[in-house]
């Protein structure tokens, strides 16, 4: 089935490439490319809060760090890195909402993992080098494909067709033995119709945290056919990551004494020496195959069809000491008259999954009305299993025995219709209706050898309404309402079989002002939740965050951002988010009884998040930037415990780029450099909070012990790069 699907994509491209005959200019090429994400993006004047990021924006800081770090200075964004320096496992939170609740699409195809709902950019190393543009919608946003957006949605458009042939050789190096090597090419339009383009990349880094190394290999390849009314793209991209685990975090004392310490892989040998297992790592590969066909039938009507197949497989490997035989299905054995029931071993926990997607949308546009309607359907089938690849005492086990097996199947479909109608030259209304249906079933047992039998069906209706008022060319006001519903993920069910889906009602009101020198946006949001799945602060044994329903909760905030060209060479771009993020009522077990903590702060939701950029361009091709990020105090739990508090931090980066235009051999040479955290701030952007009951001190009284783990971020570090364009 997999090979048949791949062949179908390539055959469709080949057939279409030789069946059309019309010509095309570069403006039309760009317009048709953008149609691929039209169904999940919004226009500049839409009543949806959003930020756009272009290829030009990305190139100036694309030195190997993951996409979340390239978005770090957008409003309401907080990023974090397990390895500490932005390469490897990274995360993004928008308005305090985790990446699990941020919807990601690539060319309109859902990228979030269907079961965990997480987004793992580590599987697509250097993907930023193949991105044409990104749109980050904050709040519910417009209807999208895949899991619902509860904090934001990020719509990624990959490289547009290039009319002219070109190539790039891009190399960068930096702290912690970090390096990125990228080779890109495009044939340009052959006979005005056909383009083949691609990229090959490798990123390596030792990481700021001890042994938190990353080895990321990836490629991107697309073949395109275009004419006046047709665009067809066959795209394949893949990533293979090998990343040493760094998800354990450290306690407060270790943070003070040795902030780069990593306990992953630690064991004691037969002589009592502490050692670290050298393969305590993730090893995962993900292949993507996409086919997109856009057809323009008239000036009013067009059709877009997208197909996708994703194949993911891999494992994480761990050395475990003194493991019980019973946890692996081993039978106790006798050696020299002694019964052996524990052993040191090395295990692998596997994922092996297939993901199919079909999208279709039709677009109608007239002078006063723009309508898009269509739907999406996806099917996911994922196996979870574990192997013991070495054991000091193997009992009666056989090679490649599975000590647990589980399977998850999920189908996810939606139908939508959205449109904008211009009532007159000043007023326009926006409507968006989506019906989404999910079927999720699991069988087998988890890695804890506990049966996981889920059979859930969900049906959600998600309406969205908005109005825009154009006072004049420089002033735009909008008001919108959107509802979103979202199902729990696999980990949620593992921790609580009775967990509920969450619902959000999102109200946004904003003002956009733009002149030749100044752009200013102000947006107020009121996000009212029912049974919001919030981060409890705790993590499971593989670093997954544990979430819980929070009853009634809310996020109320004000976002301000501006871009002011003070002089022709100097621009100031500040932004700030002020917010209140509250659980209406928090009841939790503490000291042996249920305690009502009243109204509390939502976990990982700072009240102040601010970004700033000073950009100076004194010469043609030269740009110097001072980039700043402030994140206020935040709690890692939902009880406002001081133990769970993360201190605020203020981090500054310096970036420089210079493009030297050439006449021979190369079109240009681009020199890029960054010094991150220039003031050597010792900060923590992520962590976890836990409690457990102590009955040893006094058997007649239960005492709750609190603790926390921290993920330190890198101190001053640098990256420099050279991009040869030809």
> Residue 626 corresponds to which tokens in the numbers above?
């001072």
Q: By the 8 A CB rule, do 217 and 209 touch?
A: no
The sign of the dihedral angle between the CA atoms of 390, 396, 402, 405 is: negative
How far apart CA 140 and CA 150 sit, in angstroms, is 6
Beta pairing, strands 668-676 & 109-110: unpaired
What are the b/e assignments for 681-713, b being 16+ CB within 10 Å?
A: eebbbbbbbbbeeeeeeeeeeeebeeebbbbbb
Question: Looking at the 3D structure of the chain, how many domains does it have?
Answer: 1
Answer positive or negative: Cα dihedral of 43, 44, 47, 51: positive
What's the rounded Cα separation, in Å, for the pair 661 and 620? 10
Q: CB–CB of 262/254 below 8 Å?
A: no
* Per-residue model confidence (pLDDT) at position 536: 63
Q: Encoding tokens for residue 169?
A: 């050789």
Q: Are 139 and 525 in contact (CB under 8 A)?
A: yes
Residues 680, 682, 685, 686: is their CA dihedral positive or negative? positive
Q: What pLDDT is recorded for position 4?
A: 39
**Contact in structure between 591 and 704 (CB atoms under 8 Å):** yes
pLDDT for the residue 642: 95
In order, the DSSP letters of 75-101 are TTEEEEESSSSSSSSEEEEETTB-GGG
**238 with 286: CB under 8 angstroms?**
yes
Question: Do the beta carbons of residue 146 and residue 412 sit within 8 Å?
Answer: yes
pLDDT at residue 724, as a whole number: 96
- CA 388 – CA 556 distance, rounded (Å): 49
Those residues whose C-beta lies under 8 Å from the C-beta of residue 15, and which sit 6 or more positions away, are none
- Please tell me the predicted confidence (pLDDT) of residue 265: 96
Q: Which of 326, 356, 355 is nearest to 343 (CA)?
A: 326
CA distance 386 to 388: 7
Q: What is the pLDDT of residue 19?
A: 35
> 461 exposed, middle or buried (CB, 10 Å; 0-12, 13-18, 19+)?
exposed
Residues of the chain with confidence (pLDDT) below 50: 1-26
**Cα-atom radius of gyration of the chain, to the nearest Å?**
26
CATH at residue 168: 2.40.170.20
Please give the distance of CA 249 from its chain centroid, rounded to a whole number.
21
Per-residue confidence (pLDDT) for residue 28, from 0 to 100: 54
The pLDDT of residue 623 is: 96
pLDDT of residue 540: 63
Q: Given 3-state DSSP classes, what are the helix, strand and coil percentages for the chain, each rounded to the nearest 5?
A: 10, 60, 30
Residue 431 tokens read as: 């409507």
Cβ contact 47:477 at 8 Å: no
Give the residue from 4, 63, 50, 53 showing the smallest Cα distance to 653: 63
Whole-number Å distance between alpha carbons of 36 and 156: 10
Specify the residue for token string 């067809």. 232
At 180 the pLDDT is 97
The bridge status of strand 518-530 relative to strand 533-539 is unpaired
The closest alpha carbon to 76, from 53, 97, 52, 47, belongs to 97
CA distances from 430 to 433, 468, 474, 482, 712 (A): 10, 8, 20, 11, 44
CA–CA dist 255, 277 (Å, integer): 22
What domain range includes position 446? 2-725
DSSP annotation of 618? -
Q: How far is CA 34 from the centre of its chain?
A: 21
Tokens of 276: 């670290």
pLDDT of residue 337: 87
pTM of the model: 0.91
Tokens 């010792």 -> residue: 682
């Amino acid at each position: 089935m997999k090979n048949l699907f791949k062949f179908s994509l390539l055959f469709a491209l080949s057939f279409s490439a030789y069946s059309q005959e019309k010509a095309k200019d570069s403006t039309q090429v760009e317009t048709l490319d953008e149609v691929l994400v039209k169904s999940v993006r919004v226009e500049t004047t839409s009543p949806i809060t959003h930020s756009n990021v272009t290829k030009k924006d990305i190139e100036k800081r694309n030195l190997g760090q993951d996409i979340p770090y390239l978005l770090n200075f957008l409003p309401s964004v907080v990023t974090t890195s397990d390895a500490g320096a932005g390469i490897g496992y990274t995360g993004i939170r928008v308005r305090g909402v985790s990446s699990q609740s941020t919807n990601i699409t690539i060319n309109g195809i859902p990228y979030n993992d269907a079961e965990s709902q997480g987004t793992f950019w580590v599987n697509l190393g250097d993907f930023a080098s193949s991105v044409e543009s990104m749109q980050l919608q904050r709040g519910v946003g417009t209807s999208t494909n895949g899991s619902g957006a509860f904090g934001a949605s990020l719509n990624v458009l990959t490289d547009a067709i290039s009319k002219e042939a070109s190539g790039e050789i891009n190399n960068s190096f930096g702290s912690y033995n970090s390096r990125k090597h990228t080779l890109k090419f495009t044939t340009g339009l052959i006979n005005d119709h056909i383009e083949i383009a691609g990229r090959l990349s490798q990123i390596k880094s030792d990481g700021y945290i001890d042994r938190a190394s990353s080895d990321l290999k990836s490629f991107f390849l697309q073949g395109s056919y275009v004419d006046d009314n047709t665009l067809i793209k066959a795209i394949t991209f893949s990533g293979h990551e090998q990343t040493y685990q760094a998800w354990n975090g450290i306690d407060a004392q270790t943070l003070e004494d040795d902030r780069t310490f990593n306990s992953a892989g630690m064991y004691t040998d037969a002589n009592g020496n502490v050692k670290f297992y050298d393969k305590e790592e993730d090893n995962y590969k993900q292949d993507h195959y996409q086919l997109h066909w856009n057809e323009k039938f008239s000036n009013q009507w067009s059709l877009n069809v997208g197909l996708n197949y994703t194949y993911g497989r891999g494992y994480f490997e761990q050395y475990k000491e003194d493991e019980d035989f019973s946890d692996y299905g081993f039978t106790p054995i006798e050696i020299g008259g002694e019964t052996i029931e524990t052993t040191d071993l090395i295990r692998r926990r596997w994922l092996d999954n297939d993901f199919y997607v079909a999208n279709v949308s039709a677009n109608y546009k007239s002078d006063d009305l723009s309508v898009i309607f269509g739907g999406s359907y996806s099917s996911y089938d994922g196996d979870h299993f574990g192997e013991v690849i070495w054991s000091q005492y193997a009992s009666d086990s056989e090679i490649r025995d599975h000590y647990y097996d589980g399977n998850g199947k999920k189908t996810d479909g939606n139908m939508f219709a959205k449109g904008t109608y211009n009532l007159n030259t000043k007023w326009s209304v926006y409507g968006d209706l989506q019906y989404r249906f999910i079927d999720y079933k699991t069988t087998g047992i988890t890695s804890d050898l506990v049966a996981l039998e889920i059979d859930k069906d969900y049906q959600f209706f998600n309406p969205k309404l908005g109005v825009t008022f154009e006072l004049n060319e420089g002033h735009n006001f909008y008001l919108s309402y959107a509802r979103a519903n979202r199902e729990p993920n696999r980990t949620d069910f593992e921790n609580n079989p009775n967990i509920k889906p969450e619902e959000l009602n999102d109200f946004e009101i904003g003002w956009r002002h733009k002149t030749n020198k100044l752009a200013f946006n102000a947006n107020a949001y009121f996000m009212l939740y029912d049974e919001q799945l919030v981060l409890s602060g705790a993590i499971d044994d593989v670093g997954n965050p544990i979430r819980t329903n929070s009853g009634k909760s809310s996020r109320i905030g004000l976002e301000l951002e501006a871009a002011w060209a003070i002089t022709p060479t100097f621009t100031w771009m500040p932004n700030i988010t002020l917010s209140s993020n509250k659980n209406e009522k928090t009841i939790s077990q503490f000291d042996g009884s249920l305690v009502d903590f009243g109204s509390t702060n939502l976990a990982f939701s700072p009240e102040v998040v601010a970004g700033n950029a000073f950009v100076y361009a004194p010469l043609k091709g030269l740009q110097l930037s001072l980039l700043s990020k402030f994140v206020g105090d935040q709690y890692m739990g939902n009880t406002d415990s001081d133990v769970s508090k993360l201190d605020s931090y203020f981090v500054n980066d310096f970036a420089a780029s210079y493009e030297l235009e050439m006449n021979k051999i190369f079109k240009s040479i681009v020199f890029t450099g960054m010094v991150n955290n220039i003031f050597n701030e010792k900060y923590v952007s992520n962590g976890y909070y836990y409690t457990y009951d102590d009955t040893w001190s006094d058997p007649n009284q239960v005492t709750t012990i609190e603790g926390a783990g921290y993920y330190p971020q890198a101190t001053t570090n640098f990256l420099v790069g050279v991009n040869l364009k030809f």
